[in-house]
Amino acid sequence: MSMKGAELVVRALEQQGVEYIFGYPGGAIMPVYDALLNSPIKHILARHEQGASLAADAYARVTGRPAVCMATSGPGATNLVTGIANAFMDSVPMVVITGQVPTVVMGTDAFQEVDVFGITMPIVKHSFIIRRAEDIPKTIALAFQIAAEGRPGPVLVDLPKDISNAVPTAASIFEMRKSKRASPDPRQVQIARELIMNAERPVLYGGGGIPMAGAVDAFRAYARASGIPTVTTLKGIGSLPTRDETYLGMLGMHGNRAANRAIQESDLLICIGARFDDRATGRLDGFAPKAKVIHMDADPSEIGKLRHADAGLLGDLLESLAAMPTGLSIAPWQQWCAERKAEHAWRYDAPGEYIYVPDMLRRLTEAAPDVTIACDVGQHQMWVAQHCHFDRPEQHLTSAGLGTMGYGVPAGIGACLARPGARVVTVSGDGSIMMNIQELATIRRYGLDLKILLVDNSSLGMVRQWQQLFHGERYSEVDLSDNPDFVEVAKSFGIPGFRITRRDEVDGAIRRLLETEGPLLAHVCIDPKSNVWPLVPPGQSNDVMMEELSA
């Protein structure tokens, strides 16, 4: 029996082991939705395509496998774009399927026609327009392979409606090329070994490439065996458990002072799966000015892109890490770092009556060490990165490269589905949550056990902080004091909620979040003037860390 193109699509997805598709139906993709009715694949209906693409992103981060999102042509496709860019910036494997108008009318400005292939070109790892139904199985298989291999990323497959309705004449046979896992150059390995043996003040600078490469265990084994003080980027958090003795914290703009000072003092920076992002480095020519650099990455174009690498180790991280020397004589440096860590340990004795968010977040992860936190973007995101404890990087879902407000709720949805039974909390802000508030309906529809900790300062806090510090307190469009009643909003979506405003309510709120069955929203009202500290001003070197201004 011959199958229609749409059925070939669904069959190809089944062959890839796809369990969930995140999407939203519409005209041009209807044949695929029809074929889905006969498939064991479960479809998660988001209430906006952006919610679907961001949920898929988080699902992929937690499972480590390419996730699938799908939408129709035109507005369906353009609504996916933010999620695609988010996955691209954070190297998340994702296969995006968009319906397209029939090939005969492509290029005629047909109803709901948009050139999504062209629109997304700078934010995909690769993309296809399928022109023949025969090519469907091969194209879908290739999309998964490209999305996952090397440095992962999103792959878009644009599927015209006449192709998904067509019955191909011949069954297509294809062979996938073996994906190659390159080994690092032995000469570079030797140079790196010598650099480490001769270093007096080495630092491990770990990034999101560690979990992406499945190298978390190898990384922590090397960090512990070598005793080299470790800092991570936002995406690298959890690669070494945050409670480990040699872990100094996140580096960069809102990094821990000990982490930034260690980097600035170091004579050897061992960069593992990170990319010298400006949020991490601050002013680039002032970043780790005394250090030589070893750069390990899966992506050849990252080595030497922003900072010269004295040794560049491409390819398999497991192999590179296993080849690095231990038994180093760096006791004085370890001692110095331990002292800085103690000196700059976070303090939680903030004065005043308002709920102190860093302390609340710390208590949350102390009460539930297994919790997965899906963050939104803004001040609360930085507080999570600074103060929460994580044992694994998959426990911390955050939109790092793109900084997508609205990530938190869909990401929580993706995480709940990726790991059924896991404890998942979305930490959001009053600005961010409104960007994808419609996904509360998705939580309700699928009965997901997602908790939401909504930190509300009645403003766009991070922008307000910058206007206060760098724009002479000229506040422009940051006041959100006319927010809706979030507890009532949740209630109207069928999600219970409660509100706290005082410090003595925090422990009770955490207990409720952790002990309640089913979804729950905690609305936490905080000081509208709270700021994130420390802060490296934009364009400055990481030596320049501003601290809390005295009131």
Partner 1 sequence: MNHTLRMNIHKVEGALIRLLGLIERRGFSVTSMNAHSDDARQEVEITVHLRSAGRSVETLARQIEKLYDVRSVACLTSGEQAIVMGESVAC
- To partner 1, the closest distance from the beta carbon of 50 in angstroms equals 23
Whether 149 is catalytic: no
Quick one: which of 131, 181, 290, 511 contacts partner 1 (CB under 8 A)?
131
Distance (Å, rounded) from C-alpha 19 to C-alpha 381?
30
Interface positions, 245-304, toward partner 1 (CB under 8 A): 278-279, 281-285, 299-301, 304
121 touches partner 1 by CB under 8 A: yes
**Nearby residues of 265 by Cβ (< 8 Å), 6 or more positions away:** 201, 290, 336
- To partner 1, the closest distance from the beta carbon of 344 in angstroms equals 23
Specify the residue, 80 or 156, whose C-beta has the smaller distance to partner 1. Answer: 156
Residue 501 near residue 516, CB atoms below 8 Å: no
Interface positions, 520-549, toward partner 1 (CB under 8 A): 538-539
Specify the residue, 220 or 279, whose C-beta has the smaller distance to partner 1. Answer: 279
Question: Strand pairing partners for 521?
Answer: 452, 497
Residue 267 near residue 292, CB atoms below 8 Å: yes
Give the Å distances, CA to CA, from 276 to 298, 303, 377.
Answer: 15, 10, 20
DSSP state of 92: -
**Nearby residues of 6 by Cβ (< 8 Å), 6 or more positions away:** 31, 32, 34, 35, 164, 165
Distance (Å, rounded) from C-alpha 296 to C-alpha 293?
10
**Which of 87, 114, 118, 131 lies closest to 407, judged by CA?**
87
Interface positions, 302-361, toward partner 1 (CB under 8 A): 304-308
Specify the residue, 304 or 352, whose C-beta has the smaller distance to partner 1. Answer: 304
The catalytic residue among 14, 15, 111, 491 is 111
Q: Is the Cα dihedral 534, 538, 541, 546 positive or negative? A: negative
Q: What are the tokens at 499?
A: 């509100």
Q: What x/- string results for residues 143 through 172 when contact with partner 1 is judged by CB under 8 A? A: ---x--------------------------
- To partner 1, the closest distance from the beta carbon of 301 in angstroms equals 4
- To partner 1, the closest distance from the beta carbon of 309 in angstroms equals 9
- To partner 1, the closest distance from the beta carbon of 64 in angstroms equals 21
Quick one: which of 20, 117, 333, 407 contacts partner 1 (CB under 8 A)?
117
Question: Strand pairing partners for 269?
Answer: 203, 293
Whether 235 is catalytic: no
Interface positions, 54-93, toward partner 1 (CB under 8 A): none
Whether 89 is catalytic: no
The catalytic residue among 112, 145, 334, 468 is 112
Quick one: which of 40, 122, 327, 420 contacts partner 1 (CB under 8 A)?
122
Other residues' Cβ atoms within 10 Å of the Cβ of residue 1 = 4
Whether 112 is catalytic: yes
Q: What are the tokens at 233?
A: 């980027």
Specify the residue, 62 or 309, whose C-beta has the smaller distance to partner 1. Answer: 309
- To partner 1, the closest distance from the beta carbon of 202 in angstroms equals 21
Distance (Å, rounded) from C-alpha 426 to C-alpha 523?
12
- To partner 1, the closest distance from the beta carbon of 151 in angstroms equals 8
Which DSSP string corresponds to 391-409? Answer: SSGGGEE---SS--TT-HH
Specify the residue, 80 or 129, whose C-beta has the smaller distance to partner 1. Answer: 129
Specify the residue, 277 or 316, whose C-beta has the smaller distance to partner 1. Answer: 277
Q: b/e map of 449-474 (b: 16 or more CB within 10 Å)?
A: bbbbbbbbbbbbbbbbbbbbeeeeee
Specify the residue, 282 or 534, whose C-beta has the smaller distance to partner 1. Answer: 282
The catalytic residue among 4, 7, 49, 292 is 49
- To partner 1, the closest distance from the beta carbon of 284 in angstroms equals 5
The catalytic residue among 94, 253, 462, 545 is 462
Give the Å distances, CA to CA, from 398 to 22, 237, 279, 510.
Answer: 19, 10, 14, 21
126 touches partner 1 by CB under 8 A: yes
Question: Strand pairing partners for 43?
Answer: 21
Q: Which stretch binds partner 1 (CB under 8 A): 69-77, 85-93, 115-123, 422-430?
A: 115-123
Which DSSP string corresponds to 491-525? Answer: HHTT--EEEE-SGGGHHHHHHHHHH-SS-EEEEEE
Whether 546 is catalytic: no
Q: Count of residues binding partner 1 (CB under 8 A)?
A: 27
Provide the CA 469 distance to its chain's centre, in angstroms. Answer: 28
Interface positions, 210-249, toward partner 1 (CB under 8 A): none
The catalytic residue among 4, 125, 161, 451 is 161
Binding site for partner 1 (CB under 8 A): 117-118, 121-122, 125-127, 129, 131, 146, 278-279, 281-285, 299-301, 304-308, 538-539
Q: Could you list the active site residues?
A: 49, 111-112, 161, 462
